[in-house]
């Protein structure tokens, strides 16, 4: 078996694959059903380390955000963008992402629906506003 | 039974854009602290160092280099990193080792050298202190993370961007009287509001600068302090706290759980309540941080911090002076040193070395310092020894 065939995807790699399809992968504790983001290794309620993956549609509502004017390296190629915290619909977990094309707070009232559209090597979890 | 722990000496470089190497900064602050305590390096039994980005000046594992250059290469040292909270988290470890009786005298030294990397590189390096996969990796700088906290706070509580600006103005007012401050410049609310946006709603003057600098204190047990015949102050409370690492994971983005846990432990150890504190040095990396801090530390009820700011209750002559040194905002924020710099301020206040920024009739002081967006925090309470 070749090295590439034997490579088992890490949980982060699986998260990224799902994000590229517009989904958010979370962990559900097999013991107490508590949901955690996929990077958790232990349940923060019962400390079990047994999870199953559950996939949610990457849609949610904006909880808070900032519009970055001074950007870290790797984001200089983007004209203006927001770093957004949003609550995943039907899940109760918050997650963060990169939303390009936002230059003013009037562009993004709190509660605006957003969705995951991609995972980008340089920009991370890419979002766009969901047209209602 | 726990030993009483005292601060016997304190020293600090200026904070700012400095020419010296990270090791030179560390040694300069150490020498000042050692001389302030009236001791020689021979008296030091261990070195506690805090630093985050030594790699930016090509020096990690810096404790042995510092101890060697202090003339005590066989004295053990260690370097602790907890992002911007490194200084206070390290201070707590130094305190604990003296309290437990392992050592009678140690040096606690924080140092940072970062300005030579430039704004973009510094911004990027600091973003590595976040929960990077969810935060820095998705484009959030530290100003951005606190910008998101500011937006949540302003949407939830009765506060405005003007209130945030008032905090920055106050700290610049205080820092103007601090000869070691990075930015000694008075500003107005209008200047803050009209300064360029860094990460909305935070503007340039809502943000602390990137700074180089080092601060050091000598910690000892009470017996050592009394034998020295020198002025000293006593540490009467210490607390440590932790919060979920990422902003997204917090139930309430307008509070920092680690601060609340740490300060409650410290108040309990000191057997005091918030009203007994005469002044506090709190972590104001951004103006919104100070607003959240003064509520989390129990000085004002949740949601009423802005009203207190508007009423000038946190100025040098107010009910509870906050950041008489000028805070991170004006004094500067060399992130590995800041927590120790706060202790230096308390020592100077209590030993009559604070000049025009002296808080009158102060006997109890509190220092509060956290890492990243509050993932780690430490609070210490000090008593003036008459």
* pLDDT (tens digit per residue) in A81-99: 999 999 999 998 999 999 9
User: Does the pLDDT value for residue A132 go beyond 90?
Assistant: no
CB B27 within 8 A of CB B10: no
List phi, psi (to 5°) of A35: -100, 140
Number of alpha carbons in the 13 Å side-chain half-sphere of residue B241: 26
φ, ψ (nearest 5 deg) of residue B173: -60, -45
**Domain containing B97: what range?**
5-117+210-228
The residue of B117, B140, B208 whose CB has the most chain A CBs within 10 angstroms, and thus the best one to mutate to test that interface, is B140
Q: What is the C-alpha to C-alpha distance for residues B370 and B147, in angstroms, rounded to an integer?
A: 17
Tally the C-alpha atoms within 13 A of residue B185's C-alpha that lie toward its C-beta: 10
In a domain, B216, yes or no: yes
Angstrom CA distances, B108 to B42, B282, B299, B337, stand at 15, 19, 28, 10
pLDDT at A103: 93
Q: Does the CA dihedral B291-B295-B298-B300 come out positive or negative?
A: positive
Measured CA to CA in angstroms, residue B7 lies from A31, B27, B63, B217, B265 at distances of 49, 19, 21, 7, 20
Rounded Cα distance between A106 and B184, Å, is: 36
Q: Using a CB cutoff of 8 Å and minimum separation of 24, what contacts does A30-34 make? A: none
Residues of B in contact with A68 (CB under 8 A): 139-141, 143-144, 199
Tell me the sheet residues that pair with A129. A114
What are the counts of helices (DSSP H) followed by strands (DSSP E) for chain B? 13, 11
Q: Does residue B82 lie in a domain region? A: yes
Size of interface A-B (CB pairs under 8 A): 106
Residues in A touching B130 (Cβ below 8 Å) = none
Provide, as residue numbers in chain B, all residues whose Cβ is less than 8 Å from the Cβ of A69.
196-200
Q: What is the pLDDT of residue A1?
A: 40
Distance to chain B for A119, nearest Cα, Å: 10
The distance of Cα A77 from the centroid of its chain, to the nearest Å, equals 21
Task: Tell me the pLDDT tens digit for each residue of A101-118.
Answer: 999 999 999 999 999 999
Single pTM value for the model:
0.96
Number of domains in chain B: 1
In this complex, the residue of B148, B152, B202 whose CB is nearest that of residue A83 is: B148
| Confidence (pLDDT) at A4 | 47
Mutate to test the interface with B, among A40, A42, A63, A69 (most CBs of B within 10 A): A69
User: Considering only CB atoms, which chain B residues are within 8 Å of A96?
Assistant: 134-135, 138, 140, 246-248
> A3 falls in which pLDDT band (50, 70, 90)?
very low
For residue B151, list chain A residues with Cβ-Cβ distance below 8 A.
64-66, 110
Please provide residue A59's backbone torsions phi and psi, each rounded to the nearest 5 degrees: -115, 150
Has residue B306 been placed in a domain? no
Instruction: Give burial (CB, 10 Å; 0-12/13-18/19+) of A77.
Output: exposed
CA angle B255, B258, B263 (to 5 degrees): 100
Residue B322 lies in a domain: no
Residue B266: inside a domain, yes or no?
no
Of B4, B10, B5, B3, nearest in space to B350 by CA? B10
* Partner residues linked to B378 by β-bridges: B240, B369
Task: Give the closest of B144, B155, B201 to A83, CB-based.
Answer: B144
Q: How far is CA B318 from CA B185, B310, B346, in A?
A: 21, 11, 17
CATH code for position B17: 3.40.47.10
Q: Write the DSSP string, B215-229.
A: EEEEEEEHHHHHHHT
Position B144 in a domain: no
**SS3 category, A7:** coil
- Is residue B127 a part of any domain in this protein? no
Nearest to B326 by CA among B353, B352, B305, B356: B356
**pLDDT tens-digit map of A13-45:** 999 999 999 999 999 999 999 999 877 889 999
Q: Are B77 and B61 in contact (CB under 8 A)?
A: no
Sign, CA dihedral B347-B353-B357-B362, equals positive
Among A69, A70, A94, the residue with its CB nearest the CB of B248 is: A94
Tell me the residues of A at the B interface, defined by beta carbons under 8 Å apart: 12, 37, 39, 63-76, 78, 81, 83, 85, 94-98, 105, 110, 123-125
- In terms of Cβ atoms closer than 10 Å to its own Cβ (0-12, 13-18, 19+), residue A82 is buried
- Asked if residue B70 belongs to a domain, the reply is yes
Residue B1, pLDDT score: 66
Q: Which residue of B has its CA nearest to A37?
A: B249
Percentages helix, strand, coil for chain B (3-state, rounded to 5) are 40, 20, 40
- B253-298: per-residue pLDDT in tens? 999 999 999 999 999 999 999 999 999 999 999 999 999 999 999 9
Instruction: ipTM value, please give it.
Output: 0.92
* Alpha-carbon dihedral angle through residues B67, B68, B73, B76, given to the nearest 10 degrees: 20
| Residues of B forming the active site | 84, 333
Mean pLDDT of each 10-residue bin along chain B, 386 residues long:
94 98 98 98 98 97 98 98 98 98 98 96 94 96 97 97 98 98 98 97 97 98 98 98 96 97 98 98 98 98 98 97 98 98 98 97 98 98 95
> Are residues B357 and B177 in contact, defined by beta-carbon separation less than 8 angstroms?
yes
| Min Cα separation A51/chain B (Å) | 19
Any A CB within 8 A of B124 CB: yes
CA triple B133-B57-B36, angle to 5 deg: 110
Q: Tell me if B140 and A83 make a contact (CB, 8 A cut-off).
A: yes
């Amino acid at each position: 078996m070749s090295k590439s065939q034997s490579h088992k995807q890490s949980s982060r790699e699986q998260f990224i694959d799902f994000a590229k399809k517009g989904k958010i992968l979370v962990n559900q504790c097999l013991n107490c059903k508590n949901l955690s983001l996929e990077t958790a290794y232990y349940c923060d309620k019962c400390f079990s380390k047994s999870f199953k993956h559950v996939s949610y549609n990457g849609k949610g509502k904006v909880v808070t955000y900032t519009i970055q004017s001074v950007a870290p390296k790797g984001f200089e190629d983007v004209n203006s963008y927001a770093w957004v915290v949003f609550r995943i619909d039907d899940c109760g977990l918050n997650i963060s992402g990169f939303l390009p094309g936002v230059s003013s707070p009037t562009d993004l009232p709190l509660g605006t629906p957003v969705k995951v559209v991609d995972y980008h090597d340089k920009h991370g979890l890419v979002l766009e506003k969901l047209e209602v | 039974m726990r030993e009483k722990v005292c601060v016997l000496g304190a020293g600090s470089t200026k904070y700012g854009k400095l020419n010296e190497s990270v090791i030179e900064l560390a040694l300069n602050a150490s020498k000042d602290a050692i001389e302030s305590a009236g001791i020689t390096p021979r008296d030091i039994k261990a070195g506690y160092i805090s630093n985050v980005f030594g790699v930016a000046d090509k020096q990690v594992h810096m404790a042995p280099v510092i101890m060697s250059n202090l003339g005590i290469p066989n004295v053990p040292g260690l370097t602790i990193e907890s992002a911007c909270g490194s200084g206070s988290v390290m201070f707590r470890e130094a305190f604990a080792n003296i309290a437990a009786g392992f050592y009678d005298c140690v040096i606690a030294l924080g140092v940072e050298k970062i300005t030579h990397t430039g704004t973009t590189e510094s911004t990027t390096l600091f973003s590595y202190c976040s929960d990077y996969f969810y935060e820095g990796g998705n484009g959030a700088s530290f100003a951005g993370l606190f910008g998101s906290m500011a937006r949540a706070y302003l949407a939830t509580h009765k506060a405005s961007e003007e209130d945030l600006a008032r905090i920055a103005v106050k700290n610049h007012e205080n820092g103007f009287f601090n000869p070691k401050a990075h930015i000694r410049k008075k500003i107005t609310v209008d200047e803050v509001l009209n300064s360029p946006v860094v990460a909305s709603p935070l503007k340039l003057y809502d943000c602390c600068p990137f700074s180089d600098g080092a601060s050091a204190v000598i910690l000892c047990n009470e017996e050592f302090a009394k034998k020295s015949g020198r002025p000293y102050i006593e540490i009467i409370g210490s607390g440590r706290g932790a919060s979920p690492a990422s902003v997204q994971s917090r139930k309430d983005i307008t509070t920092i759980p680690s601060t609340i846990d740490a300060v409650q432990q410290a108040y309990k150890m000191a057997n005091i309540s918030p009203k007994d504190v005469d002044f506090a040095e709190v972590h104001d990396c951004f103006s919104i941080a100070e607003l959240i801090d003064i509520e989390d530390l129990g000085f004002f009820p949740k949601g009423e911090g802005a009203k207190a700011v508007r009423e000038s209750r946190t100025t040098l002559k107010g009910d509870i002076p906050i950041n008489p040194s000028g805070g991170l905002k004006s004094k500067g924020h060399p992130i590995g040193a800041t927590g120790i710099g706060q202790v230096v301020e308390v020592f100077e206040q209590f030993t009559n070395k604070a000049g025009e920024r002296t808080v009158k009739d102060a006997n109890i002081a509190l220092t509060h310092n956290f890492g990243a967006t509050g993932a780690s925090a430490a609070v210490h309470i000090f008593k003036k020894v008459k």
